[in-house]
Structure 1
Amino acid sequence: MTQPTETPPPPQKDEFHTGAAMIFGGFLTVVALGLLLLLMNVEWTWEYWGGTNADKSGVLRNVILIIGGPLTLGFLGWRSFSAHRQANYANDQRRISISGLQVDRYQKGAQLLESGEMALRVAGVLTLRELVRTDRDDTLAMVRPLLASFLRAPTPPFQDRIRPLVEVEPEYIYRRKLEQEADILEALEALAASTEDDEVFARKTPLPAINLREAFLPQINLRNANICRWDFTGSTLPLSSFFQALAAHARFVKADLERANFMKAMLFGADFSRADLRSALFYGADVSSAHLQARYWDGWYIGDSWAWIDQIPMMPDGVEYPGILYAPGPSNRHREEHYLARTRGYPKHATRVRDGISSHHALP
């Protein structure tokens, strides 16, 4: 028969009591002073401390100062330490309170995005955008994926009204001017505003990608928007405007970009592999290091785009890049000046090495 094993008592916590520590420290200080005085053969007489005609009140005052000085300094140190701990505790409570409020606002904004009413969805987008504005560092990583998911999902009533017509008649979106819903426009604007331009032109750290794969967003307006590293793979974006947009390293793989406007856009390193670029405009667009192996080419006015001579974009087999080429200058000076100045369009001070073909030339 096995005997029951005794449960060991829980370990006791070692707690630091500031008051007890200060009293014990004061006692040790007095003891140390007493021992010091004994070692120095101090006599406890008025004549020793104050001379023949000793002022007893002055002697007493000096002795009290000798003993009370260290105790007073210790007390002041304890008060300072205690105030510092209280301030840290108050700051921690404030951060916890702010974090809780941010989570509540985030949840409220997410719930509003699921509403069937337009005004509530717009309110949800604006709530999330304000959340990023007030505390960018802690909320940006949460808000951007949520807004991107909102744009990818079927958004009533635009999707319900337009998509069935496009499935029956694909040319519908090319013959009609579509008015995007306010919630879509607000979400796109909020996403575009979530990245500072300085982060793009400094080209220091890669920006987090925004997933808009398979999105149905025909005729969207992203003029002057910051869409660097956005992923539009397989998206439907015909007749959309990317005029002067910052789209460095954006992905448009297999995207429908027929008649899209990329005039003066920054497309450094963008990927247009197998995209539909029929009649897309690229006047003054920076396509340096871009992947331009598009699926459809007829009518693509690529001749007025430009690139740095050492960063010529990748073209389909057998096709030479026909755009304008510029020299980056000694030690890349002109290239750095162009990006640091946040200039859109052609470089102002770089030397043109080669002119492009006519803007109305169609590639095979």
Structure 2
Amino acid sequence: MAIKKFFDTALKPERAVLVGIITPSENEEQEREYLEELAFLVDTAGGETVHTFVQKMQKPDRATFVGSGKLDEIKAYVEAEEIDIVVFDDELSPTQLRNIERELQVKILDRSNLILDIFARRAQSAQAKTQVELAQLQYLLPRLTRLWTHLERQRGGIGMRGPGESQIETDRRLILNKVSLLKEKLKSIDRQNETQRKNRGQLVRVALVGYTNVGKSTIMNMLSKSDVFAENKLFATLDTTVRKVVIDNLPFLLSDTVGFIRKLPHHLVECFKSTLDEVREADILLHVVDISHHNFEDQIAAVNETLKELGVLDKTIITIFNKIDAYQGTKDDEGDQSFTIEDFENSWMKRNQSPAIFISATEKENLEELRKLIYEHVLAIHTERYPYDSLLY
């Protein structure tokens, strides 16, 4: 009787190791937080983190980012464990990238490249796809030389102007032309979006903002009774979604925007600023915070920094502390919970003048209070804008 053989044809996730450094401007806890986030990014991209390397340094090595001894340690681990990919927590220069690849002989990514890969997977609309492609080309441009190392032996002598060099120049020209075309395409899309926004009339506009993976899309679905994609992954939503919402016969427009993140590549921020026009034009911002995250106050600071760049911190901002069902509280030295939701709520309200509310979108806790809070602020703006309509609400 013939023996049947079965083969596992399922795609296995790429095995990754993470690399970070601790400089005098950071501490070990901050770097651990960054690397946990980097591991989440790897998971979102479909990889599996199996090990992490950290080194204390005054500043990154100009040639290899980490020291030569640490690089040898990483190389030994990569070879012994058959690692597929090494991911660095900071952006690598073209020289660092080339030297590290040459030494480790596996795929090398930095945080910027990894985020770009996730964005490319998540982009759905023409605008998001164009923005991602533009950011990818801008990232690629200074790194072209490493793509042509297979032509090194064919290059000339003193001037180094062999076939590889001429090919690099050709590719650079093609990329610059493509960048120019993509920028023009984005301007055209922006003009179309501006027309759409004008056609929506003068309804009060409310925008959800916040760190990535804090529950913005879940709150969007709950308030608008729509079905916006929501997932426990970073950057589950890239495309801005706008829905008309009615609370007690008072209509307004609610938009969901791309989540923010620390160490977001500058060129990516620039490319996605047009997506954030909904934030600029909003009358009210709903800043969603994952209060169950142990470093949520740092996330608040990261979001506020981006809002400051966009020039919108002067708008009405309602802080929504989400996921109270998962909040564990802080611990004292003996391991007992010493800071409850109520304690934090009281301290927050004393420190900040802006309105805040504590909810659980998944468990539907305090949702009516949230609707009432939004209603009051929308009504105030609507009444100021249309005083003759105030008797209707």
**TM-score > 0.5 by shorter chain:** no
Bigger relative contact order, structure 1 or 2 (CA pairs below 8 A, ≥6 apart): 2
Shorter-chain TM-score: which interval?
Answer: under 0.3
Q: Tell me which structure has the larger Cα radius of gyration.
A: 1
TM-score of the superposed pair, with normalisation by structure 2: 0.24
Tell me which protein shows more strand as a share of its residues.
2
